[in-house]
Structure 1
Amino acid sequence: MSTFGQYFRVTTYGESHCLSVGAIVDGCPPGLPLTEDDIQPQMTRRRPGQSALTTPRDEKDRVQIQSGTEHGFTLGTPIALRVLNEDQRPRDYGDSTMDKYPRPSHADYTYQMKYGIKASSGGGRSSARETIGRVAAGAIAEKYLKLAHGVEIIAFVDSVGDEHLFPPTPTHPTAATNPVYLELLNTITRKQVDSFLPVRCPNEEAASRMADKIAHYRDQKDSIGGTVTCVVRNCPVGLGEPVFDKLEAMLAHAMLSIPATKGFDIGSGFGGCAVPGSIHNDAFATAPAIEPSVTGLRQQQNGTVGPRLTTKTNNSGGIQGGITNGAHIYFRVAFKSPATIGQAQSTVSYDAVNGVLEAKGRHDPCVVPRAVPIVEAMTALVLMDADLSQAAREHSKSRLGTQ
């Protein structure tokens, strides 16, 4: 399906080399201040052609709001978002060889088998170009979450190939126990992340190693994968819908819907399997009261927020039982090496004839630097949907006059 969300519904449209790509957003609350200037920064961060380490396709990705706003405010009606494909080159894919042979590890074969037809250029809907609509819609969700709750969503590159920002060690099999990593999650900003372009790894030495790694595979007409870490700060308590729509399950769904993703872990993740429960458990402690206007915390008693609980550690990644507990949410997404490479590869044609394919076109040697705003966008969409769901529940309860 091309629609994501139940309360904040986003439908994306468009293929890699069609006239335009974009999204329809339905369910956005009315009265939200919104113009193209609120959306464009994330579009610019996602766009191709940012450096020599990304695809040279030259797209400005200027977003246009077609409906759903008036005088700079949302109307509560569907918001149409459009981005023109200005640098289309479908001729790059018109070569009879590329049309005859499915690209190894790409979606050419599976789309052909599923639909009996496929886009002849650039992968069609399986192209990362489809994520433009997600990023545009995510920017809207993010603005609402920021105004309503002070939510901050920051993603950064954590690894490229075998180069890691925080590699596992015997002392810290999971970064969740590493105080340097946890302090980074507390303080990192998007401005800091983008100061480490083109890789977006917030450490000069690690970013240099990662850039060299990407450049090596680019020069070999090859590709390499990596991971992106994302942290959410100031998330309200109580978001998530057990049993099947636990917040971490929805985040996993959202992240694994992004092209080229192959893995997801949250909090201590897979490394936490090597940590005993006596250390892994997040002990509760009391924390000072915080005004609702600061955090969006809804639990109120007699009109004020009283003492609240927090945890001494956060191996849970801010979610317990599928519901947010107010601590930072943090998780990691794994991206495979891009399937389309310039090297000649042995393959088989659609009619089962052996052959060799040397793909043409413009492609990223590593997707993780440009995936950062996509991960942020999908995170915002999940939280927005969960927040509206919880708001509906609380409004219904308030009608009963009970606490």
Structure 2
Amino acid sequence: MNTFGRNFRITTFGESHGVAIGVVIDGCPPGFSLSESDIQPFLDKRKPGQSDLVTPRKEADRVQILSGVFEGKTLGTPICLLIQNTSMRSTDYDELRELFRPGHADRGYMEKYGIRDHRGGGRSSGRETAARVAAGGVATLYLAQYGIRIFGHLLQVHGETTPEGIEKAIRTARDNGDSVGGIISINVSGCPPGLGDPVFGKLDAFIAYAMMGIGGVKAVEIGSGTMAADMNGSEHNDQMTPEEYLSNNAGGILGGISTGQDILVRLTIKPTPSVRAVQKTIDIHGENRDISVHGRHDPCIAVRIVPVAEAMMALVLMDALLEQRKIFPGFLKES
């Protein structure tokens, strides 16, 4: 499925080594100020080639608005955002035409569709996330009008928590032809109470769904997360006074509905599966093979997943906001 959302719906398209990637946004409210220069900073934060700790693939990631905006205002019609691919080196993947890379979606795509794009993984490539970031940028800008802010942070890489330790861990893995994983946090401030629906429309459920839909994410924690298993109920409960909650173990969501506190989310990211280290695999004929993956890859994808996770959070909150307006049409609107 290439579409996400109920009210603020996005459909991404394109492959890693195709002509372009992009996204169609349907459901953006009309009359909202929007330009390419408003969206570009979000893509600049995610784009590759910004340091020697990430993939050296150089992409400008310049966004073009093809539809849905007129004289600087959204029309309420579908918004199409396009990002050209300009730095493909498809020959890097020639040796992978008949090989399945361990840890990748190669074999799964072949088994599902009977065909796959071996060049960089096609749709399963992290390149696809640029389209999500572009759409998430639109949602982030809309939410910011109401004081809703989203902040992502790299917490840990391979057990290291300091900038120096993180950098060393990434460099060591890269130099050894290997990779490392990490943990990132996403915090939301200014989220009003009331977003999310009980039972099957829980806000935390949609957040978990969105975050697990990012390639490489293997676990999602909200609030105290797995630490809740070691706490007593009296300790985990967020007690209240007339002025405030006294803690935030729930991570800003109770009963599937936002409480007005900060929303706190942590993601565990696996090591990048593309590594030079020799591994065992099979080819498309089912024969045993050895593989060493070359080309341009991030030694730690957690670094560049931060803006992707921020974007997915924005998409979830934007969708929930529009859903809430079905119940209260004036919710978070100018009086």
TM-score normalised by structure 1 residue count: 0.81
CA distance in 1, matches of 2:119, 2:329: 48
Match of 1:286, SS?
coil
Aligned with 2:116 (options 109, 118, 129): 118
Three-state SS of the structure 1 residue aligned to 2:328 is: helix
Q: What is the percentage of aligned positions where both structures have the same residue?
A: 47
- Give how far 1:353 is off: 1.2
Where do 5+ consecutive residues of structure 1 fail to align?
165-205, 288-309, 398-403
Alignment partners' CA distance in 2, 1:208 and 1:286 = 43
What is the Cα deviation at residue 396 of structure 1?
Answer: 9.5
The 5 Å alignment of 1:310-389 reads 310-389=244-323
Cα deviation digits, residues 6-36 of structure 1 (max 9, x gap): 1000000011100000100000000111001
The equivalent of 2:199 in structure 1 is 243
> Whose radius of gyration is greater, 1 or 2?
1
Give 2:8's aligned residue. Answer: 8
1:151 equivalenced with 2:107 (yes/no): no
Tell me by how many angstroms 1:38 deviates: 1.2
Q: Hey, what's the Cα distance between the residues in 2 that align with 1:359 and 1:371?
A: 21
Q: Which secondary structure does the structure 2 equivalent of 1:214 belong to?
A: helix
Task: Label 1:391 to 1:85 Cα distance change in 2 as closer, same or farther (>3 A).
Answer: same
Letter in 2 for 1:70: F
Report the residue type matching 2:186 in the other structure: C
Partners of 1:26 and 1:281 in 2: how far apart? 39
Aligned: 1:269 with 2:225: yes
Give SS of 2:12's match: strand
Quote how far apart the aligned CAs of 1:360 are. 2.1
Say if 2:171 is the partner of 1:215. yes
Please give the residue correspondences for 1:163-178 in structure 2 after superposition, counting only pairs within 5 Å: 163-164=160-161
Q: Distance in 2 between matches of 1:2 and 1:207?
A: 36
Counterpart CA distance in 1 for 2:253 and 2:203 is 7
- d(CA) in 1 for partners of 2:330 and 2:154? 41
In structure 2, the CA distance between the partners of 1:396 and 1:57, relative to structure 1 (3 Å rule), is: closer
Alignment-mate amino acid for residue 160 of structure 1: V
Residue 143 of structure 1 aligns with an amino acid whose one-letter code is: L
Task: Name the counterpart of 2:327.
Answer: 393
1:29 aligns with 2:26: no
The aligned amino acid for 2:35 is: T
Q: Secondary structure at the match of 2:205?
A: helix
State how far apart, in whole Å, the 2-side matches of 1:352 and 1:22 are: 35
- State the secondary structure of the residue aligned to 1:346: strand
Deviations 1:76-135 (A, max 9, x none): 11000000000011111112xx11210011100000000000002000110000111110
Q: How does 1:47-86 map to 2 (within 5 A)?
A: 47-86=47-86
Determine the structure 2 residue equivalent to 1:139. 137
Number of equivalences = 331
Cα-to-partner distance string for 1:327-376 (whole Å, 9 max, x where unaligned): 00011011100111112212121212111111122100001111111010
Inter-partner Cα distance in structure 2 for 1:342 and 1:71: 50
Alignment map for 1:243-322 (pairs within 5 Å): 243-287=199-243, 310-322=244-256
Q: What's the C-alpha RMSD, in Å, of the aligned pairs?
A: 1.1
CA offset at residue 248 of structure 1?
0.5
- One-letter amino acid of the structure 2 residue matched with residue 221 of structure 1: G
Over 6 Å off, 4+ runs: none
C-alpha deviation, 1:395, in angstroms: 2.6
Matched residue, 1:231? 187
Instruction: List per-residue Cα deviations over 1:202-232 (Å, max 9, x = no partner).
Output: xxxx011111000000000100000110100
Q: Where does residue 128 of structure 2 map in the other structure?
A: 130
The AA in structure 2 aligned to 1:272 is A
Instruction: Name 2:40's counterpart in structure 1.
Output: 40
Distance in 1 of aligned mates of 2:42 and 2:183: 19
Matched residue SS, 2:67: coil
For residues 368-397 of structure 1, the C-alpha deviation after alignment (integer angstroms, 9 at most, x for no partner) is: 111111010000000000000001111399
Alignment partners' CA distance in 1, 2:330 and 2:90: 52
* 1:111 partner SS: helix
* Cα drift, residue 280 of structure 1: 1.2
